[in-house]
Amino acid sequence: MFDITLAHNKTKGADMINRLQGKNPFFSCVIGVTETAKISGISAAGENPEITDYTPPADVELLQLGKCKCIPGVPITPDGIPTPALITMSALDLASIPTLAVNAGLRIKPHVPFVDVGGSPGNDIRTGKALKNAKEVMTRAQILGENLSKTVDYLVVGESIPGGTTTALSVLLAMGVDAKGKVSSSMPLNPHELKTKTAEAALKAAGVKFGEFIESPIKAVSTVGDPMQPAAAGLILGAAKNVPVILAGGTQMAAVLAVVTALNPDVLENVAIGTTRWIIQDETADLTGLVSQIADIPVLAADLDFTKTTLDGLKAYEQGVVKEGVGCGGASIAAILKSNGKITKDVLLQEIEINYKVLVS
Amino acid sequence: MFDITLAHNKTKGADMINRLQGKNPFFSCVIGVTETAKISGISAAGENPEITDYTPPADVELLQLGKCKCIPGVPITPDGIPTPALITMSALDLASIPTLAVNAGLRIKPHVPFVDVGGSPGNDIRTGKALKNAKEVMTRAQILGENLSKTVDYLVVGESIPGGTTTALSVLLAMGVDAKGKVSSSMPLNPHELKTKTAEAALKAAGVKFGEFIESPIKAVSTVGDPMQPAAAGLILGAAKNVPVILAGGTQMAAVLAVVTALNPDVLENVAIGTTRWIIQDETADLTGLVSQIADIPVLAADLDFTKTTLDGLKAYEQGVVKEGVGCGGASIAAILKSNGKITKDVLLQEIEINYKVLVS
pLDDT at B104 over 80: yes
Residue B361 has pLDDT above 90, yes or no: no
Q: Which residues of A touch B112 (CB under 8 A)?
A: 140, 143
- Tally helices (H) and strands (E) across chain B: 14, 8
List residues in chain B touching A: CB distance below 8 A: 24, 26, 64-65, 96-100, 102-103, 109, 111-118, 136, 140-141, 143-144, 146-152
Most A CBs within 10 A among B117, B151, B338, hence the mutation to make, goes to B151
Give the pLDDT score at A27: 98
Query: How many structural domains comprise chain A?
Result: 1
Strand partners, B27: B99, B156
CA distance A224 to A130: 5
Q: Which residues of chain A neighbour B148 with C-beta distances below 8 Å?
A: 98
Q: What percent of chain B has pLDDT over 90?
A: 97
Positive or negative: CA dihedral A111, B61, A226, A150: negative
Domain that holds residue B90: 4-356
Contact across the interface for B103 and A116, Cβ inside 8 Å: yes
A43 inside domain: no
pLDDT at site A188: 86
- Tell me the pLDDT tens digit for each residue of B222-264: 999 999 999 999 999 999 999 999 999 999 999 999 999 999 9
- What pLDDT, on the 0 to 100 scale, is given for residue B64? 98
* Chain centre distance of CA B286: 15
Nearest-5° angle of CA B188, CA B191, CA B192? 125
Say yes or no for a CB contact (<8 Å) between A151 and B147: no
Q: What is the mean pLDDT of residues B129-134?
A: 98
Residue B28 has pLDDT above 90, yes or no: yes
Q: Is residue B361 part of a domain?
A: no
* pLDDT given for residue B267 in this prediction: 98
Q: With H, G, I as helix, E, B as strand and everything else as coil, classify residue A124.
A: coil
Nearest neighbour of A113 by CB, restricted to B97, B109, B141: B141
Q: pLDDT of B65-100, one tens digit each?
A: 999 999 999 999 999 999 999 999 999 999 999 999
Nearest-Cα residue of chain B relative to residue A66: B143
Contact yes or no for A150 and B96 at CB 8 A: yes
Determine, for residues B111 and A24 on separate chains, whether the beta-carbon distance falls below 8 Å.
Answer: no
Q: How far off is chain B from A110, nearest CA to CA, in Å?
A: 9
CB contact under 8 A, A136 and B26: no
First to last CA, chain B: 34
Specify if A31 maps to a domain: yes
State how far the Cα of B226 lies from the Cα of B238, in Å rounded to an integer: 20
Minimum distance, in Å, between the CA of residue A143 and any CA atom of chain B: 7
Mutate one of A60, A150, A242 to test the B interface: name it (highest B CB count within 10 A). Answer: A150
**Nearest-CA distance A132 → chain B (Å):** 15
Per-residue DSSP letter, A335 = H
Which residue in B79, B47, B89 sits closest to B319, CA to CA?
A: B79
Query: Cβ of A152 and B151 within 8 Å?
Result: yes
Query: Residue B192 pLDDT more than 80?
Result: yes
| A12, A218, A274, B47, B92 from A245: Cα distances, Å | 14, 21, 10, 43, 24
The 3-state DSSP class for residue B54 equals coil
* pLDDT band per the 50, 70, 90 thresholds, residue B46: confident
Q: Report the C-alpha dihedral over residues A10, A15, A21, A23, rounded to 10 degrees.
A: -130
From chain B, pick out residues whose CB is under 8 angstroms from the CB of A100: 115, 144, 147
Inter-chain contacts counted by CB atoms under 8 A, chains A and B:
80
> Measured between beta carbons, which residues in chain B are less than 8 angstroms from residue A156?
none
User: Does A44 map to a domain?
Assistant: no
Per-residue pLDDT reduced to its tens digit, B258-300: 999 999 999 999 999 999 999 999 999 999 999 999 999 999 9
Describe the crossing of helices A252-263 and A287-294 by its angle, rounded to 10 degrees: 10
User: How far apart are the CA of A77 and the nearest CA of chain B, in angstroms?
Assistant: 28
**Against a cut of 0.90, is the pTM above it?**
yes
Q: Do A144 and B24 touch (CB under 8 A)?
A: no
* Best of B89, B116, B235 to mutate (most A CBs within 10 Å, chain A): B116
Chain A residue with minimum CA distance to B101: A115
Which residue of B lies nearest to A154 if distances are taken between CA atoms? B151
Residue of B23, B70, B100 for testing the chain A interface, max A β-carbons within 10 Å: B100
- Partners of residue B276 on adjacent β-strands: B302
Q: Enumerate the β-bridge partners of residue A273.
A: A247, A299
| A116/B117 Cβ within 8 A | no
Q: Which strand (E) or helix (H) includes residue B55?
A: helix B55-65
Q: Which residue in B109, B146, B151 is closest to A151 by CB distance? A: B151
Cα of B111 to nearest chain A Cα, Å: 8
Give the closest-approach CA distance of B132 to chain A in angstroms: 15
Q: Return the CA Rg of chain B.
A: 18
Nearest to A151 among B109, B140, B152 (CB): B152
Q: State the best of B23, B112, B148 to mutate against chain A, taking most chain A CBs within 10 Å.
A: B112
Nearest neighbour of A98 by CB, restricted to B97, B111, B151: B151
Distance from CA of B77 to the nearest CA of A (A): 28
Q: Which residues of A touch B (CB under 8 A)?
A: 24, 26, 64-65, 96-100, 103, 109, 111-118, 136, 140-141, 143-144, 146-152
Task: Identify whether the C-beta of residue A310 lies closer than 8 Å to the C-beta of residue A336.
Answer: no
A113 and B117: CB-CB below 8 Å? yes
One digit per residue, the tens of pLDDT, for chain A of length 361 reads: 799 999 999 999 999 999 999 999 999 999 999 999 999 999 988 888 989 999 999 999 999 999 999 999 999 999 999 999 999 999 999 999 999 999 999 999 999 999 999 999 999 999 999 999 999 999 999 999 999 999 999 999 999 999 999 999 999 999 999 999 999 999 889 999 999 999 999 999 999 999 999 999 999 999 999 999 999 999 999 999 999 999 999 999 999 999 999 999 999 999 999 999 999 999 999 999 999 999 999 999 999 999 999 999 999 999 999 999 999 999 999 999 999 999 999 999 999 999 999 999 6
Give the CATH number for residue A176. Answer: 3.40.50.10210
Give the minimum alpha-carbon distance from B102 to chain A in angstroms, rounded to a whole number.
9
Q: What is B202-259 written as a DSSP string? A: HHHHHT--TTTTTT-HHHHHHHH--THHHHHHHHHHHHTTTS-EEEESSTHHHHHHHH
Exposure string for B276-302, b = 16+ CB within 10 A, e = fewer: bbbbbebebbbbbebbebbbebbbbbb
Confidence of residue B188 (pLDDT cuts 50, 70, 90): confident
